[in-house]
Amino acid sequence: MKTLAELQAIRDRMKDNVTMRSGSGSIRAVVGMATCGIAAGARPVLSALVEEVSKLDLGEKVTVTQTGCIGLCRYEPIVEVYEADKEKVTYVKMTAEKARRVAEEHLKGGKVVTEYTIGAAEK
Amino acid sequence: MYRSHVLICGGTGCTSSGSKNVRERLAEELKAKGLEEEIKIVQTGCFGLCALGPVMIVYPDGTFYSRVTPEDIPEIVEEHLLKGRIVTRLEYKEGAEITQPGTNVSLNDTTFYKSQLRVALRNCGVINPENIDEYIARDGYMALGKVLTEMKPEDVIQVLLDSGLRGRGGAGFPTGMKWKFARAYDNEQKYVCCNADEGDPGAFMDRSVLEGDPHVVLEAMTIAGYTIGANQGYIYVRAEYPIAVKRLQIAIKQAREYGLLGDNIMGTGFKFDIDLRLGAGAFVCGEETALMTSIEGNRGEPRPRPPFPAEKGLFQKPSILNNVETWANIPQIILKGAEWFASMGTEKSKGTKVFALGGKIKHTGLVEIPMGTPLRKVIEEIGGGIPNGKKFKAAQTGGPSGGCIPAEHFDIPIDYDNLISIGSMMGSGGLIVMDEDNCMVDIAKFFLKFTVDESCGKCTPCRIGTKRLLEMLEKITSGQGTLEDLDKMEELCYYIKANALCGLGQTAPNPVLSTLRYFRDEYVAHVVDKRCPAGVCKDLLKFTVDKEKCIGCGLCARNCPAGAITRTDYIAPGHKLASMEIDPAKCVKCGVCMGNCKFKAISKQ
């Protein structure tokens, strides 16, 4: 027999699982997953982002998804962060480690990790 | 943690178009690519767009794929799930435009979904109906928790009364009133029943709710048990709905395991349980007293009311019976409040209504719209209009108990009272669209044949009256009718309506009455000119060969199953062979010759 409190616990535990299906969050983190991206190691980046978003409980706010070739193959793996009314942020030459920091500081904290962006890389 | 969910429809529509094979192929393919830990396959209930099944939706991006075959799966996995490139050739995006860079079209922006408002169907196509945890994740059983811990039975009734919820089975009786009456009768034993005996030809709203969200019905029935003071519920569901039956059985089992049905629900001491009763498919068992008689183990026949079921229903005890869609609205009303619900819809019809779109329409499927949405919007926008550029003639609502809405009322806002005022009715939600190729007399005959077959025979007006009515219709469609018959028919219709015992008989003449009201000219054409304007009624058709157009190829004669076509000795100017002709005495009016003729030389009148 489950009490109301136990049911609420199940709801909270399962919520992450179904929020993905209620449409997209206000922030979209898009990983380039074309051949070039995969070859450069995009898959661990994607997995790290997904895990971190779940761990930081950002499921309702952030949608992690993939896209095809962005056209900057030499900078792969690339992660782009879209947020309504803000300029797109492009992170380049990502790794799983860097992805975790982006999740913590940018997706959660709202602060762009400037040193990983394409602007910093092109300097 | 999965990074992506792939939802595949497991409703009856998509199951019959092969969604099971798609699902199995996808599971194999994910395994082969080592993605089974990253991507989750979820079998859901109906998405609504049954015409384009099997349908699949990929989250988090929400890409909607239609008409997916197992052969498409390797491409979807390789391109989309692995590389993030949408397989555009399979994507359904009618009417939607990409608004935000980096996103793809949202399902909610397509013309099919844009004007819909999903309340009763909120979980259909979103959760796995065989997993109680997914239902709980969407606030499932929270309404029951609220009712058991914070509300008195009177409060529940008041919320329902304030919400303005009316029965979705067709008649539109206020649900709160029904519960109030049943609560008022003092009895140790009371019953809660669910009417899932959906029998109208072409209707599948209730089936989709049961298949896509079975727990919502269990939760709402338990709330009703608490409210009226009952501890046993029955769901009367058609045996012809095997998927719905299976998912209900799973749901009941899971709810019992979680202690959401049984002796001490949520530790509050409240006791309630639900059992299934399978109907053998008699239409009359959708009528409340017949349904209860059938649950009792007797032959499904109605009995006179009063006494109404609220006083003496199942096993002569106070009972309530609500339709599946009505139940599906109730937990939401409890959680979000009466005002939220009453803010949708029109003055006397609150909330939304689910319709099963069928007939001559592009997007056959399931739609849920706010009450008061104009019929035109449902058909032209959501339904995608009528295929092949044909003209809208009428829409039939309410199935064999309802009537038709002609083109002159195309802009009518759909609600209970408006439909009654033009001689139709809301019904349970079947909406069959007809175009210029449908003969209205033939349609009336179709529905009447159905009621003649389904009449239980207990009362004379229905048993004999509908039979006589059908005979008159047959006389008319065979060209033997007289104008006097039309008047007699109308008189008989009113007689049956006034005297039949139950709802089946009382509404059986509606299709005849409403077609007579709006399409009397078609009846007159059958009677006076011995002609069927839509070219449907075979006895009034005549196929002829235009001898000037016929080149004499003989294709029609070779394909004629009756050997009714022979060569004449007339050669039209410019042609080399003699033209053909049809012997009306032998012709069976199958139309094969017309379909075969490449020169449009054969016509029917």
Contact: A67, B102; criterion CB under 8 Å = yes
Q: A20 touching B, CB under 8 A?
A: yes
In A, which residues are within 8 Å of B58 by CB distance?
none
What number is the average pLDDT over the span B43-61?
Answer: 89
Within-domain flag for A6: no
Assign domain B352-435 to a CATH class: alpha beta
Report the residue of chain A nearest B60, measured CA to CA: A20
Q: What angle do CA A82, A85, A89 make, to 5 degrees?
A: 35
Within-domain flag for A39: yes
Highest mean pLDDT among A110-114, B273-277, B387-391, B424-428: B273-277
Contact: B137, A15; criterion CB under 8 Å = yes
* pLDDT at site B102: 46
CA pair distance B45, B210, nearest whole angstrom: 8
Contact: B145, A1; criterion CB under 8 Å = no
Within-domain flag for A4: no
Contact: B1, A54; criterion CB under 8 Å = yes
CA pair distance B174, B171, nearest whole angstrom: 9
* pLDDT at site B84: 81
In A, which residues are within 8 Å of B103 by CB distance?
24, 28, 82
What number is the average pLDDT over the span B282-303?
Answer: 94
B42-56, B104-118, B315-329, B445-459: which has the minimum mean pLDDT? B104-118
In B, which residues are within 8 Å of A38 by CB distance?
82-83
Candidate from B7, B38, B108 with C-beta closest to A21 = B7
In A, which residues are within 8 Å of B106 by CB distance?
23-24
Q: Which residue has the tokens 């075959």?
A: B69
- List where CATH 1.20.1440.230 sits in chain B: 440-527
- CATH classification code of B542-604: 3.30.70.3270
Contact: B137, A30; criterion CB under 8 Å = no
Q: Which amino acid is at A104?
A: E
Contact: A21, B102; criterion CB under 8 Å = no
CA pair distance B219, B123, nearest whole angstrom: 14
CA pair distance A67, B396, nearest whole angstrom: 46
In B, which residues are within 8 Å of A8 by CB distance?
142, 145
In A, which residues are within 8 Å of B138 by CB distance?
18
Within-domain flag for A82: yes
Q: A26 touching B, CB under 8 A?
A: no
Contact: A50, B136; criterion CB under 8 Å = no
Contact: A38, B260; criterion CB under 8 Å = no
The secondary structure of residue A73, as a DSSP letter, is G
CA-nearest of A106, A14, A8, A123 to B134 is A14
What number is the average pLDDT over the span B326-332?
Answer: 97
Tokens of A26: 């206000």
Report the residue of chain B nearest A67, measured CA to CA: B84
pLDDT at B103 over 70: no
CB B397 within 8 A of CB B419: yes
End-to-end alpha-carbon separation of chain A, Å? 63
CA-nearest of B123, B105, B129 to B48 is B123
How many residues appear in chain B? 605
Contact: A47, B38; criterion CB under 8 Å = yes
Within 10 angstroms of residue B263's Cβ, the number of other Cβ atoms is: 12
What number is the average pLDDT over the span B91-116?
Answer: 70
Report the residue of chain B nearest A13, measured CA to CA: B137
Burial track B186-201 (b if 16+ CB lie within 10 A, e otherwise): ebeebbbbbbbbbbbe
CA-nearest of B218, B207, B213 to B256 is B218
CA pair distance B320, B317, nearest whole angstrom: 10
In A, which residues are within 8 Å of B264 by CB distance?
1
What number is the average pLDDT over the span B233-237?
Answer: 97
- List where CATH 3.40.30.10 sits in chain B: 4-114
Q: With the CA atoms of B196, B200, B204 and B209 taken in that order, what torsion angle do they form, in degrees rounded to the nearest 10? A: -20
What number is the average pLDDT over the span A94-98?
Answer: 93
Residues 6 or more apart whose CB falls under 8 angstroms from that of A74 comprise none
Across the strands, what pairs with B275?
B234
Candidate from A21, A30, A68 with C-beta closest to B85 = A68
Query: The CATH number of the domain where A108 resides is what?
Result: 3.40.30.10
Tokens of B602: 């054969």
- Look at chain A and report how many structural domains it folds into: 1
Strand ranges in chain A using DSSP code E only, listed in sequence order: 27-32, 62-67, 79-83, 89-91
pLDDT at B107 over 80: no
What number is the average pLDDT over the span B261-288?
Answer: 94
CB B466 within 8 A of CB B508: yes
Candidate from A18, A35, A38 with C-beta closest to B137 = A18
Backbone angles phi, psi at B551, to 5 degrees: -95, 0
CA pair distance B36, B340, nearest whole angstrom: 41
pLDDT at B185 over 70: yes
Residues 54 to 73 of A: which have CB under 8 A from any B CB? 54, 63-68
pLDDT at B153 over 70: yes
CA pair distance B59, B244, nearest whole angstrom: 26
In tens, the pLDDT along B307-320 reads 999 999 999 999 99
Burial track B80-113 (b if 16+ CB lie within 10 A, e otherwise): bbbbbbbbeebebbbebeeeeeebbbbbeebbbb
In B, which residues are within 8 Å of A61 by CB distance?
none
Across the strands, what pairs with B8?
B43, B56
For residue A98, give the H/E element and its range.
helix A96-102
CA pair distance B284, B290, nearest whole angstrom: 7
Q: A2 touching B, CB under 8 A?
A: yes
* pLDDT at site B101: 45
CB B84 within 8 A of CB A66: yes
CA pair distance A30, A91, nearest whole angstrom: 10
* pLDDT at site A84: 77
Residues 6 or more apart whose CB falls under 8 angstroms from that of B352 comprise B117, B118, B119, B120, B344, B345, B368, B369, B370, B371
Q: B259 touching A, CB under 8 A?
A: yes
CA-nearest of A101, A107, A79 to A92 is A79
In B, which residues are within 8 Å of A64 by CB distance?
3, 60
Supply the range of the domain harboring residue A79.
30-121
Assign 3-class secondary structure to B247-287. Answer: HHHHHHHHHHHCCCCEEEECCCCEEEEEEEEEECCCHHHHC
* pLDDT at site B427: 85
Contact: B84, A16; criterion CB under 8 Å = no
* pLDDT at site B239: 93
Within-domain flag for A112: yes
- Which ipTM was obtained for this model? 0.80
**Superfamily of B132-341 according to CATH:** NADH-ubiquinone oxidoreductase 51kDa subunit (3.40.50.11540)
Residues 6 or more apart whose CB falls under 8 angstroms from that of B561 comprise B588, B590, B592
Which of A18, A24, A80 is best to mutate for the B interface (most B CBs within 10 A)?
Answer: A18
**Helix-helix angle B242-257:B214-228, to 10 degrees:** 60
Tokens of B331: 């937990």
CB B550 within 8 A of CB B572: yes
CA pair distance B178, B313, nearest whole angstrom: 12
* pLDDT at site B53: 86
Residues 6 or more apart whose CB falls under 8 angstroms from that of A3 comprise B266, B267
Q: B267 touching A, CB under 8 A?
A: yes
Q: How confident is the model at residue A68 (pLDDT cuts 50, 70, 90)?
A: confident
- Bridge pairing between strands B392-397 and B56-59: unpaired
* pLDDT at site B98: 54
Within-domain flag for A93: yes
Which of A17, A63, A73 is best to mutate for the B interface (most B CBs within 10 A)?
Answer: A17
Q: A80 touching B, CB under 8 A?
A: yes
Q: B468 touching A, CB under 8 A?
A: no
Contact: A1, B267; criterion CB under 8 Å = yes
pLDDT at B1 over 80: no
- List where CATH 3.10.20.600 sits in chain B: 352-435
Residue A15 Cα, gap to closest chain B Cα (Å): 5
Contact: B3, A46; criterion CB under 8 Å = yes
pLDDT at B104 over 90: no
DSSP-derived 3-state class of residue B116: coil
What number is the average pLDDT over the span A25-33?
Answer: 84
Verify cis geometry, omega within 30 degrees of 0, for the bond prior to B584: no
Contact: A17, B103; criterion CB under 8 Å = no
In tens, the pLDDT along B345-367 reads 999 999 999 999 999 999 988 99
- CATH classification code of B440-527: 1.20.1440.230
CB A92 within 8 A of CB A72: yes
Q: Which CATH architecture has domain B4-114?
A: 3-Layer(aba) Sandwich (3.40)
- Mean predicted lDDT score pLDDT of chain B: 92
CB B459 within 8 A of CB B501: yes
Size of interface A-B (CB pairs under 8 A): 113
* pLDDT at site A24: 58
